[in-house]
């Protein structure tokens, strides 16, 4: 009997199913076998939103539940558009298909250690170097013409208008302290002027965070060795991609912040009030924004009294 995949109407039903390998392993083995690939000792990756399984040392199978088909389209399109056009290694597509309405990709496996596994233990000099390289990588990706990725919905202006309209309700629901919510209306008014809505769009992953890149060591120094996970790609204003490393990695440390921004292409003289204000607005408008969970500065709520002080704390140089 050929193993089959179930029908899910929402992502929440998928999560407990993914947590039990006995429910999907026969399907993974069958998909691999259909492409002439062995799957004797599959490795399950528990991070991320899809079903991701290592097929030995060289390949990865990524299966997308039907509610996340848009991520499959984004990942496939991004890997094809970026392939051979950026300096940093990214996975290559070996095969693709669909099983019971679930699209999947078989991609090459990159060497290195997931950033999330080692970031906290890196020496400070390595953290600054890695952030500079992340800034360079963001800029490198954004120099690639978006091509067919421009068709990904929503368009930047529509996306931003929706984020602005829902911003206050989102952060009230997530428990942002009133002293920060009090400045939201002023910031959102500024956002409409500070954030370009119709500038030439660039490729945005939205998630340059430790879970989405690989690190390698060269002569005892850590470097960015690969970029993975393109399921949330959209196109729009370039500064949007600074928010992940700014929140999760720079931690308000001046040398880290400067390394990131200079790697991206900003000079120290560019890092003025307007840029910090725009970055603060974008951080609140990011599709995954949750300041209480994502700002990695110890005690930041007690160190700041309002959003103006917070933007200076996060983007200090």
- How many CA within 13 A on the CB side of residue 66? 10
Ramachandran angles phi, psi of 113, nearest 5°: -110, 135
Helix, strand, coil shares of the chain as percentages rounded to 5? 50, 15, 35
Residues of the chain with CATH 3.30.200.20: 11-108
The pLDDT value recorded for residue 140 is 98
Is residue 213 classed exposed, middle or buried when 0-12, 13-18 and 19+ CB atoms within 10 A define those classes?
buried
Supply 166's token pair: 């829902």
Question: Residue 75 belongs to what H/E stretch?
Answer: helix 69-82
Among the four given CATH numbers 2.40.100.10, 1.10.3720.10, 3.90.1200.10, 3.40.640.10, the one describing domain 113-314: 3.90.1200.10
The CATH 3.90.1200.10 domain(s) of the chain lie at 113-314
For residue 234, which of 201, 283, 199, 192 has the smallest C-alpha distance?
201
Note the pLDDT of residue 282.
97
The per-residue pLDDT for range 230-244, each reduced to its tens digit, is 999 999 999 999 999
- The string of pLDDT tens digits covering residues 170-222 is 999 999 999 999 999 999 998 889 999 999 999 999 889 999 999 999 999 99
CB 238 within 8 A of CB 200: no
| pTM for the whole structure | 0.94
CATH T-level fold of 11-108: Phosphorylase Kinase; domain 1 (3.30.200)
Distance CA 81, CA 75 (A): 10
d(CA 14, CA 66): 10
By DSSP bridging, strand 51-55 and strand 102-108 are unpaired
Residue 43, pLDDT score: 87
Helices marked H in 83-155: 115-118, 124-142
pLDDT at 41: 78
What is the secondary structure of 237-299 as a DSSP string?
-GGGGGHHHIIIIITT-HHHHHHHHHHHT--GGG-SHHHHHHHHHHHHHSTT--HHHH--STT
Q: Output the pLDDT for position 1.
A: 54
The answer to whether 89 and 225 have CB atoms below 8 angstroms apart is yes
Q: CB neighbours (10 Å) of residue 272?
A: 10
Give me 114's structure tokens.
Answer: 């997931």
Contacts 24+ apart (CB under 8 A), 191-194: 191/160, 191/164, 191/278, 191/281, 191/282, 191/285, 192/164, 194/274, 194/277, 194/278, 194/281
Token pair listed for 152: 């990904």
Tokens of residue 235, six digits: 């196109």
Cα–Cα dist 131/147, whole Å? 28
Name residues of the chain where pLDDT drops below 70. 1
């Amino acid at each position: 009997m050929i193993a089959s995949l179930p029908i899910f109407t929402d992502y929440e039903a998928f999560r407990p199913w993914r947590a039990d390998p006995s429910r999907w392993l026969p399907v993974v083995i069958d998909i691999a076998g259909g492409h002439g690939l062995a799957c004797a000792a599959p490795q399950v990756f528990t991070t991320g939103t899809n079903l991701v399984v290592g097929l030995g040392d060289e390949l990865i199978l990524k299966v997308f539940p039907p509610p996340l088909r848009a991520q499959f389209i984004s990942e496939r399109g991004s890997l094809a558009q970026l392939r051979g056009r950026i300096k940093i290694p990214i996975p290559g597509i070996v095969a693709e298909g669909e099983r019971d309405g679930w699209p999947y990709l078989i991609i090459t496996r990159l060497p290195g250690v997931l950033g999330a596994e080692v970031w906290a233990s890196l020496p400070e000099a390595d953290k600054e170097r890695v952030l500079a390289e992340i800034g360079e990588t963001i800029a490198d990706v954004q120099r690639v013409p978006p091509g067919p990725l421009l068709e990904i919905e929503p368009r930047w202006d529509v996306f931003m208008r929706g984020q602005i309209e829902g911003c206050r309700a989102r952060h009230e629901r997530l428990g942002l302290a009133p002293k920060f919510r009090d400045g939201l209306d002023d910031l959102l008014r500024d956002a409409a002027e500070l954030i370009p809505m119709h500038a030439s769009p660039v490729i945005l992953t939205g998630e340059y965070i430790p879970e989405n890149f690989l690190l390698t060591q060269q002569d005892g120094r850590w470097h960015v060795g690969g970029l993975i996970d393109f399921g949330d790609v959209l196109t729009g204003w370039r500064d949007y991609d600074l928010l992940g490393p700014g929140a999760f990695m720079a931690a308000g440390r001046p040398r880290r912040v400067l390394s990131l921004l200079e790697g991206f292409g900003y000079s120290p003289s560019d890092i003025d009030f307007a840029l910090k204000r725009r970055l603060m607005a974008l951080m609140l408008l990011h599709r995954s924004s949750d300041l209480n969970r994502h700002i990695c500065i110890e005690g930041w709520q007690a160190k700041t009294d309002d959003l103006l002080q917070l933007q200076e704390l996060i983007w200090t140089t």
